[in-house]
């Protein structure tokens, strides 16, 4: 079994983990429109159907 020659310090490990945040996508909520259900960013209009809080807010080109 290959073993690491030297253990990485806590500082070095945590520096690596600090950069993970950038790669984790933002929290997605489901679109409030039951016919759509697309993942949308919270507090933002759905790009797929133009719904926000159950109301059609913008027209979306089809």
Instruction: Check residue 48 for interaction with Zn ion (CB under 5 A).
Output: yes
CA–CA separation, 31 and 26 (whole Å)? 15
State which residue, 4 or 25, has the beta carbon closest to Zn ion: 25
Local structure of 56: helix, strand or coil: strand
CB of 10 to Zn ion, least distance (A): 44
Query: Of 18, 17, 39, 14, which Cα lies nearest the Cα of 29?
Result: 39
Q: Minimum distance from CB of 49 to Zn ion (Å)?
A: 3
> Does the protein bind Zn ion through residue 45 (CB under 5 A)?
no
Q: For Zn ion, which is the closer residue by CB, 18 or 26?
A: 26
């Amino acid at each position: 079994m290959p073993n690491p020659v030297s253990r990485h310090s806590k500082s070095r490990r945590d520096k690596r983990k600090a950069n993970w945040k950038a790669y984790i996508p933002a929290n997605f909520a489901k679109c409030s429109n039951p016919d759509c259900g697309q993942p949308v960013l919270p507090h933002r209009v759905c790009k797929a159907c133009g719904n926000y809080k159950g109301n059609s807010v913008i027209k979306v080109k089809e």
